[in-house]
Amino acid sequence: MARKEGGTDGSGVEGFIQDVSRLAGQFPPTPWGSRWFVLAMGERYAAIRLQDAWNPVRFLAQMAGAPPVRFGTHGFRWTLVDDANPARHYTAFVFVGFWAPRWMAVLVLWLWELAGFFRYGRGWGLADMRMGYVGLHHGQLIRRYGHRILPGLIAFALTERGLWSRPPWRWDV
């Protein structure tokens, strides 16, 4: 189900997978194609616009706000969701994981979550941390294997029906 710009149709993780798959198909399966894909994905799903990085206040406000395309929470693994737009958080850390070395990406994740902890004054976001680590790992995998693997990674790791959502003692679920 394709969704319109500027809102959410509630299509959840399935809509996210479809949209990422469509976006991935627009870029060639080359290292440069993966770079352009990650930039487009960051802007589309997480409002990361590197052209605005010259103005840090504006840049950070954009990333903390609502991105152009949102999907809601339906179908996302509940252990990874703590707000109405888990695709935004995931995408932001795919972006960071793709561009930054592992140690720096983990540092960014912790600093971002620490800033959110103080800014919003709520409990520590374990679901956000989990989602961030998954995103970082997926960004590294894209850098190594290319962007066309991402829809499968999302289906595997972020969905309720994905392998990681099954209890380790119940592989028949």
Whether 23 and 36 have beta carbons less than 8 Å apart is answered as no
pLDDT > 90 in the chain, percent = 58
How many C-beta atoms lie closer than 10 Å to residue 125's C-beta? 18
What are the extents of the domains in the chain?
A: 7-165
Pairing label, strands 69-70, 7-8 = parallel
Asked whether residue 5 carries a pLDDT value surpassing 50, the answer given is no
pLDDT digits (tens, 9 = 90+) for 19-74: 999 999 999 999 999 999 999 999 999 988 888 778 888 877 777 778 889 999 99
pLDDT digits (tens, 9 = 90+) for 114-138: 877 777 666 667 888 999 999 999 9
Predicted TM-score (pTM) of this structure:
0.84
- CA dihedral in degrees (145, 108, 63, 144; nearest 10)? 0
**Among 3-7, 36-40, 79-83, 163-167, which range has the highest average pLDDT?**
36-40
